[in-house]
Structure 1
Amino acid sequence: MKHWKCFSKASVTDVLKPDKPCSGKDHKVHLSNTVKGTAVQQTNKDISAQRIQRAWLSHMDKTIFQLLKHTIRAAELRVTHQILKEVSPLEAELVKDPSMKCKVRFRFSGETFPPVIVFKIFLHTEGHGYNYFSGKKFLKPSSEAVADACKIMGKRRFCHQVMEEERFFQKFKITDEIDIVTLQDYMQYSSLLDETPASYGGRNNYWRKLNLKNIPRTMIIYDIVHYAESGIISHRLQKEMKYLLQKPRTEEMRKHQLRIVSEARCPSSFPTIQPLYGPYQQQSQIQHLGRRSKRAQMKVEKMKKAYKMAKEKNASVGTEPQTDTSHTKQKKTVIFSSPSSDIMKVEPMSDEELKKEEKELFAWCQGLCINSSPSY
């Protein structure tokens, strides 16, 4: 019995006693390590996604910039007159005149990407210089023309002109030829003349923005600028993009790329494709292109029938001839009826029919009076 008791105690002790006791503190540490590992994995995924996104956006920006470079080169070398004709037809005629020796320059401008395209007209005189006539140069304070100008313009407008010139001087410091000392001053003065309106003595020849409406729609230049502004690419640009993005190996390849960009094409091929990074469309704007159910088809058929019936009714009311204001009655008989119009036969009514109709109308009016009489 003693041996049995000892054996049973030993066995119970061996079963209940674990090899490595696990405390609550160790369990908490294990859970915290698991949570930290999951958070680190999620952070790594976010970082990887951000890297992929930045790389993709950088690739798209490079693509757009390369296409815009082709645009300004083609605009400056091949289609200057066509673009300037859309902006200002008078200036286009002056630029086209070979005696003027004008040159139109296109540049990028703007503080954000994608940049905007600006242009400016330069006049080359081959070192001979040119004279620019303005009232500010000729109307000196010591001349009598200033007093005459004050009488013609009026004191209020003349004083406003003088105050505006003083404001220009306080802001830019170099607003007249007397203020020029160095070459830098001359460049600043020339730039100010270009930006100043002609009414204040300037040339009014500044860098102007090239809008999408100023570009002919028959050229791929229009598709490139539209793609840079809205992110929507057209079919014809998508077809030529692979070739346009290649680095030109020869001069012939570069000219061919410019020819593709500036070539006038049929304006009918303008369906567009939404890119992968385009704006999100709401559920209500998405068109379902799949098959409709039988119930939906029946509903559409009912709506079509109701629309046709209403249309026929309106057409019959619109085509019905106006009744004569004379005392003679006419009898109308429908001979042929169609959805758009009715052919009716009009016959004058006889005296007997008129009397019969008058009696029926009188009886009907009496019935109305009897029914509407108040009960006491």
Structure 2
Amino acid sequence: MNNPSKATGTDVPKSDKQLPEKDQKPRMTTIEKLEAKKLEVSALMIQRAWFIHVDKTIFQLLKHTICAAEQFVAHEILKTVSPIEAKLVKDPSMKCKVRFRFNGETFPPFIVFKIFLHGDGSNNKYFSGKNLLKPSSKAVLDACNIMGKRKFHQQIMEDDRLFQESKIADQIDIVTMQDYLQYSSLMDETPASSGGRNNQWRKLNLRNIPKTMMIYDIVHYAETGAISKRLQEEMKYLLQKPRTVEMRQHQLQIVSEIRYPSFHPVYRPYKQQNKMKHLGRRSKQAQMKVEKMKNAYMTPKEPKASKATTEPQKDTQSTKKQEMIVISTSSLDIVKVKDSTSDSEFEKEEKELFAWYQDLYVDYSSLLDTC
């Protein structure tokens, strides 16, 4: 038997010292490791500082947004959300006020709004169509026609859902005092769109903001991180701390200003009209129409009318070249004559027609001057 200690097997891995110099991996010293860690920590600190700067910028722009929305464009935004409520807010007798706030558990926050009614100390009464309108009355049919069948069915399904959850969703279901308290708390939590008394905060989306305002660019930048060109131009001024009240108002006006796109009409020079070339050949109807216009308007303006009576009238139509195409078969020969016109003749006709139109315009302007 062979001694296992003397066996020279190849399964034993070699250490780094036994490997050749080319295969050995360079080891990092402790100083190099400390420098690498310092660079990594420095990069993380710079990255964190940049994120904090961006978050502060977004928050300051959003703060300008809600202040400008309350002071200047509350009615414009409310018209896109709910036109009926916008009419009520515009009514001076209602004494309504629209407030905008931030909401959300993560950054950046989203904007919410709420309509407040100042009743001057008097109690407000809430009217619900579900309680006032009887099921068998004509008013329910009129409400269905005004709302539309789809929205009417959604309202019915919402009432059924509330009944399944609480079992007391109508005044008919009240039997005891406990039922009344449960019904009252349900009405306080139910939004006004479902017949309740909850004037809750509603979220404002990009669809509810006009795109012509800077508010749209700010909200879009907060949600997606993409900055528009006009916001990039005004950001340096908007991020400045207002020193006076006028500067503060000017910043809010820039944010809420409605900017319409500028259209620059392109005018073609008058001299270039003669240089326009006709694209493609005219149809037979167009050629006949041009000939009729020439015969009706251009013949009376010829200077020498006496010679026109003695001399034979020349044919105004341009001579057309004819091409003969012969197709021969075993039984017969087919002959076809094809008319071909050159582009130079069409250009000549266009120049004559334009000259006639120019003379007619001069005569018409002279008549207006004499009148």
Give the TM-score band, short-chain normalised. Answer: 0.5 to 0.7
1:109 counterpart (89, 103, 126): 103
Conserved? CA contact 1:67–1:245, under 8 Å: yes
Residue matched to 1:133: 127
Counterparts of 1:362 and 1:107 in 2: how far apart (Å)? Answer: 90
Aligned AA (2:251): Q
Deviation track 1:93-143 (CA, whole Å, cap 9, x = no partner) reads 21110011111121222333222222222222122122222245458xxxx
Conserved? CA contact 2:77–2:208, under 8 Å: yes
Residue matched to 2:164: 167
Residue matched to 2:65: 71
Q: Helix, strand or coil for the counterpart of 1:233?
A: coil
Name the CA shift for 1:105/1:189 in 2 (closer, same or farther; >3 Å).
farther
Greater shift, 96-105 or 31-40, is seen at 31-40
Q: CA shift at 1:170, angstroms?
A: 6.8
2:230 counterpart (221, 233, 236): 236
1:363 counterpart (308, 325, 329): 329
- Aligned pairs (5 A) from 1:260-279: 260-268=254-262
Counterparts of 1:207 and 1:234 in 2: how far apart (Å)? Answer: 29
Aligned AA (2:28): T
Q: Helix, strand or coil for the counterpart of 1:246?
A: coil
Aligned AA (1:69): K
Higher helix share: 1
Aligned AA (1:86): T
Counterparts of 2:35 and 2:108 in 1: how far apart (Å)? Answer: 35
Deviation track 1:247-285 (CA, whole Å, cap 9, x = no partner) reads 33444443332223223345349xxxxxxxxxxxxxxxx
Aligned AA (2:94): M
Counterparts of 2:79 and 2:135 in 1: how far apart (Å)? Answer: 39
Q: Helix, strand or coil for the counterpart of 1:125?
A: coil
Instruction: Say if 2:117 is the partner of 1:123.
Output: yes
Q: Helix, strand or coil for the counterpart of 1:100?
A: coil
Query: Structure 1, unaligned stretches of length 5 or more?
Result: 1-23, 26-30, 140-144, 270-311, 323-343, 368-376
Q: CA shift at 1:69, angstroms?
A: 0.6
Counterparts of 2:254 and 2:101 in 1: how far apart (Å)? Answer: 21
Greater shift, 124-133 or 211-220, is seen at 211-220
Name the CA shift for 1:136/1:52 in 2 (closer, same or farther; >3 Å).
same
Q: CA shift at 1:159, angstroms?
A: 9.8
Conserved? CA contact 1:197–1:204, under 8 Å: no
Residue matched to 1:217: 211
Counterparts of 2:130 and 2:80 in 1: how far apart (Å)? Answer: 32
Residue matched to 1:339: none
Q: Helix, strand or coil for the counterpart of 2:28?
A: helix
Residue matched to 1:48: 42
Q: Helix, strand or coil for the counterpart of 1:105?
A: strand
- % identity of equivalent residues: 51
**Count of residue pairs brought into register by the alignment:** 256
Name the CA shift for 1:258/1:157 in 2 (closer, same or farther; >3 Å).
closer
Aligned AA (1:71): T
Residue matched to 1:207: 201
Residue matched to 1:21: none
